[in-house]
């Protein structure tokens, strides 16, 4: 089909918006604990509610995209996210936060499923890899910026009287200034609804191998040991990523007394910023070396950096956590590519199963929180050695049917 660069731009903007909200949960955790007097276990249910939505919505979203089209699914997704953000903005209570984050997570899950085939269709198959990389860069940029926006809102809510803060003060309780971020996201969701409604979308023409198959196809795949192992790989990766990012700010506050609104948010921001830098380095390395060897090396270095972050001094910890972000940058694309290149057919259905593994971002931080309540947060985060260990093992046992192409 004819390329549509307006749609490509819209998809890249959507990548930015998804990341802008998804990765702000970690910097907010210390504020949420303080505002609602929560234990580590109870606060863990917030990212749990967000990421468990991926487990429920990924496969149905694929079916909806085939039946109703990408535009309908994107409008529906942002409408759900808007409702979720408004609910928490209007009723900033812990119970409502659970409902709100599940709704927002459902919307983000639906968007994740629809934008990749839309990007391939609008940008052209030959340019899909390039635009996918651009999407990852927009994703990383938003992850870097959102904690900084949170810091800006927190520091200026009580002192600034410009129009933005004047309006926010009307709806945000004085003792819950961090809730202002959800009003900002509600506004962004509304703008995205209007923008998407104005676009004429191309018909997404999936190849037969890219389509989400019937229920029996998914059952057949789930009986395949290789499929289950790569599902567990995505589960462990997202769980590890969120298990680090969600607890950075609280860890720095608990063990080194760093302010969550400034230092904590900045370190989380640099965690995501270094992931973006790691993506650039990974692009070069996968053209030079076998992806399995890269995965083994970078996972080992991520484990080493995490150890320094957990047991090092106050100053070195500020650099060790972002270093973890740098080294985990290659994990997700390598696991996805190894997985899809390890099965001969039904890649569309397999991709849906892999995306369901994103719910690991719900389970692993919750486990860390529960262990943290019993053994302190530092020792609770040691559970991440288990998930990183499994990711490292993929580089050892993976046997793809097609290896990555390398420059001689």
Pair 176, 247 in one domain:
no
Whether 279 and 392 map to the same domain: the answer is yes
Say yes or no: 273 and 399 in one domain. yes
Q: Which of 172, 203, 234 is the last residue of a domain?
A: 203
Name the range with the highest mean pLDDT among 95-99, 161-165, 177-181, 329-333. Answer: 95-99
Residue where one domain finishes, among candidates 185, 203, 221: 203
Position 227 pLDDT exceeds 70: yes
Q: Is 301 or 329 the better-scoring residue by pLDDT?
A: 301
Alpha helices in 124-224 (DSSP H): 128-156, 163-171, 180-198, 215-222
Average pLDDT over residues 354-359: 85
Please indicate, yes or no, whether residues 343 and 225 belong to a single structural domain of this protein. yes
Residue 405 pLDDT class (50, 70, 90 cuts): low
Helix (H, G, I), strand (E, B) or coil at 207: coil
Q: Give the Cβ contact number of residue 383 at 10 Å.
A: 20
SS3 9: helix
CATH number of the domain to which 8 belongs: 1.20.1250.20
Whether the Cβ atoms of residue 85 and residue 104 lie closer than 8 Å to each other: yes
Which of residues 119 and 145 earns the better pLDDT score? 145
As a whole number of angstroms, the distance between CA 145 and CA 154 comes to: 14
Do 32 and 46 contact (CB within 8 A), yes or no?
Answer: yes
* Whether residue 141 is found in the same domain as residue 185: yes
| Distance, CA of 365 to CA of 50 (rounded, Å) | 12
Tally the C-alpha atoms within 13 A of residue 294's C-alpha that lie toward its C-beta.
26
What H or E segment, with its residue span, contains residue 375? helix 360-375
| pLDDT score at 134 | 74
283: how many CB neighbours lie within 10 A of its CB?
15
Per-residue tokens: 19: 């990341």
268 and 191 inside one domain: no
CA dihedral of residues 380, 386, 392, 398 (deg, nearest 10)? -150
Which of 131 and 392 is assigned the larger pLDDT? Answer: 392
What tokens were used for 344?
């001969």
Spatial separation of the C-alpha atoms in residues 289 and 296, rounded to whole Å: 12
Q: Is the pLDDT of residue 63 over 60?
A: yes
Of 184, 203, 222, which one is at a domain's C-terminal end?
A: 203
Residue reference for tokens 């506004």: 187
Helix pair 331-340, 347-356: axis angle to 10 deg: 150
Question: Does residue 125 register a pLDDT over 60?
Answer: no
252 with 377, same domain: the answer is yes
> Which of 41-45, 117-121, 372-376 is predicted least confidently?
117-121
Tokens of 102: 């599940």
Give the pLDDT confidence of 164-191 residue by residue, as tens digits. Answer: 788 888 888 888 888 888 898 899 999 9
Identify the domain containing residue 341 by its residue range: 212-408
- The three-point CA angle 325-331-336 to 5° equals 145
Lowest mean pLDDT among 86-100, 115-129, 258-272: 115-129
Q: Are residues 31 and 141 in the same domain?
A: yes
Phi, psi of 406 (to 5 degrees): -130, 155
Looking at residues 364-389, what average pLDDT do you find? 96
Residues 406 and 294: beta-carbon distance below 8 Å: no
Residues 296 and 187 in one domain: no
Summary mean pLDDT of the chain? 86
CB atoms within 10 A of CB 293: 11
Same domain, 278 and 177: no
Neighbours of 3 (CB within 10 A): 14
pTM of the shown model: 0.81
* C-alpha closest to that of 231 among 222, 240, 220: 222
Measuring CA to CA, which residue among 269, 14, 238, 248 is closest to residue 116?
Answer: 14
Residue 119 sits in the same domain as residue 249: no
- 235 shares a domain with 161: no
When divided into structural domains, the chain yields a total of 2
Percentage, residues of the chain above pLDDT 70? 91
């Amino acid at each position: 089909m004819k390329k549509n660069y307006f749609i490509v731009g819209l998809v890249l903007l959507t990548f930015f918006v998804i990341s802008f909200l998804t990765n702000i949960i970690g910097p907010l955790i210390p504020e949420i604990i303080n505002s609602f007097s929560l234990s580590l276990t109870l606060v863990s249910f917030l990212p749990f509610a967000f990421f468990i939505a991926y487990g429920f919505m990924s496969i149905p979203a694929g079916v909806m995209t085939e039946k109703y089209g990408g535009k309908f699914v994107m409008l529906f997704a942002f409408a759900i996210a808007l409702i979720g953000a408004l609910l928490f903005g209007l009723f900033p209570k812990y119970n409502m936060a659970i409902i709100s984050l599940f709704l927002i997570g459902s919307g983000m899950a639906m968007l994740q499923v629809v934008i990749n085939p839309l990007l391939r269709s609008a940008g052209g198959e030959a340019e899909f890899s390039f635009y996918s990389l651009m999407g990852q860069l927009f994703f990383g940029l938003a992850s870097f910026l959102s904690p900084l926006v949170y810091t800006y809102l927190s520091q200026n809510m009580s002192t600034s009287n410009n129009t933005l803060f004047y309006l926010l003060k009307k709806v945000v309780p004085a003792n819950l200034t961090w809730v202002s971020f959800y009003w900002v996201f509600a506004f962004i969701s509304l703008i995205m609804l209007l923008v998407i409604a104005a676009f004429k979308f191309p018909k997404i023409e999936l190849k037969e191998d890219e389509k989400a198959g019937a229920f029996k196809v998914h059952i057949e795949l789930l009986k395949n040991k290789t499929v289950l192992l790569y599902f567990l790989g995505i589960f462990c990766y997202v769980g590890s990523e969120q298990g680090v990012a969600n607890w950075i700010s609280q860890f720095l506050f608990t063990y080194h007394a760093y302010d969550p609104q400034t230092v904590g948010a900045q370190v989380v921001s640099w965690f995501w910023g270094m992931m973006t830098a790691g993506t650039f380095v990974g692009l070069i390395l996968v053209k030079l070396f076998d992806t399995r060897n890269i995965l083994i090396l970078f996972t080992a270095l991520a484990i080493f950096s995490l150890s320094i972050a957990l047991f090092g001094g106050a100053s070195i910890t500020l650099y060790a956590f972002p270093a973890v972000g740098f080294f985990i940058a290659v994990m997700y694309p390598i696991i996805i590519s190894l997985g899809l290149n390890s099965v001969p057919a039904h890649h569309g259905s397999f991709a849906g199963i892999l995306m369901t593994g994103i719910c690991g971002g719900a389970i692993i931080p919750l486990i860390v929180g529960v262990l943290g309540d019993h053994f302190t947060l530092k020792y609770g985060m040691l559970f991440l050695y288990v998930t990183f260990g499994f990711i490292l093992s993929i580089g050892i046992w993976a046997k793809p049917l097609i290896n990555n192409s390398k420059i001689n």
